[in-house]
């Protein structure tokens, strides 16, 4: 029996040019989840972020909430500026690892960055899982120590799907995770099969759709 099943939180929606879905739950025995996410509609696109507050439980949740608030309130579509501002705001917390992506709906690009170990993959429509794009992660902790910041911009096409997941999720290497599945089917599959009991866990899937 999974005692933590009631703490699973899921949501799916459409925002701007993406269809998205998330699933998250705290470490077994914890009340609060230190993993959090943001979907924010901006002038030309959508900002998507996943953060993991260091450790787990209440203090982790405080750090991740602060990170999300900071990203929500800072007006920029530049991943580097967003991370720098977040870093300033997290100075008095235990810090967080952060990955984020700005999807420009008109230019049809994704501009993404990762500090720490929130993994990101971009599933290209019609391309096997093997040939997905991986987010390049640089070691560091936002609020504590930043690496040299570098974001990468890639073109996207209708149907391309971004998946972010925290380290409370076992790595998946399967063709089951593909653009043939809807975002909510992807997050359901991963939360059912890959969530670890030993840490907070969060997975987010976002599919780009041309208007």
Interface ranges with Mn ion (CB under 5 A)? 52, 167-168, 199
- Indicate the residue among 160 and 167 with the shorter CB distance to Mn ion: 167
Least CB distance to Mn ion at residue 63 (A): 11
The 8-class DSSP code of residue 105 comes to: T
- Give the separation between CA 79 and CA 75, rounded to whole angstroms: 11
- Indicate the residue among 188 and 200 with the shorter CB distance to Mn ion: 200
- Give the separation between CA 82 and CA 70, rounded to whole angstroms: 8
Helix crossing, 58-73 with 79-89: angle to 10°? 130
Least CB distance to Mn ion at residue 170 (A): 12
CA dihedral 134, 21, 153, 209 (to 10 degrees): 120
Residue with token string 């991943």: 79
The 8-class DSSP code of residue 196 comes to: -
- Indicate the residue among 33 and 156 with the shorter CB distance to Mn ion: 33
Question: Residues 202, 33: contact at Cβ < 8 Å?
Answer: yes
The 8-class DSSP code of residue 130 comes to: G
Question: Residues 3, 28: contact at Cβ < 8 Å?
Answer: yes
Residue with token string 């235990």: 94
- Indicate the residue among 17 and 96 with the shorter CB distance to Mn ion: 96
- Indicate the residue among 32 and 160 with the shorter CB distance to Mn ion: 32
- Give the separation between CA 198 and CA 123, rounded to whole angstroms: 27
- Indicate the residue among 96 and 186 with the shorter CB distance to Mn ion: 96
Cα 123 to Cα 43, 71, 145, distances in angstroms? 25, 25, 30
């Amino acid at each position: 029996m999974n005692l933590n099943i009631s703490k699973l939180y899921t949501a799916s929606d459409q925002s701007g040019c993406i269809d998205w879905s998330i699933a998250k739950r705290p470490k077994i025995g914890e009340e609060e989840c230190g993993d959090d996410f943001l979907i924010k509609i901006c002038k030309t696109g959508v900002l998507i972020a996943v953060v993991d507050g260091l450790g787990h439980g209440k203090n982790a949740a405080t750090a991740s909430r602060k990170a999300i608030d900071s990203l929500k309130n800072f007006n920029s579509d530049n991943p580097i500026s967003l991370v720098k501002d977040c870093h300033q705001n997290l100075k008095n917390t235990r810090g967080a690892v952060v990955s984020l992506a700005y999807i420009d709906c008109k230019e049809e690009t994704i501009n993404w960055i990762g500090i720490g170990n929130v993994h990101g993959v971009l599933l290209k429509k019609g391309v096997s899982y093997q040939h997905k794009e991986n987010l390049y992660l640089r070691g560091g902790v936002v609020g504590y120590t930043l690496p040299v910041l570098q974001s990468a911009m890639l073109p996207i096409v209708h149907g391309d799907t971004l998946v972010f997941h925290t380290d409370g999720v076992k790595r998946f290497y399967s063709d089951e995770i593909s653009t043939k599945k809807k975002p909510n089917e992807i997050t359901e599959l991963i939360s059912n099969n890959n969530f670890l009991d030993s840490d907070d866990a969060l997975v987010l899937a976002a599919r780009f759709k041309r208007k």
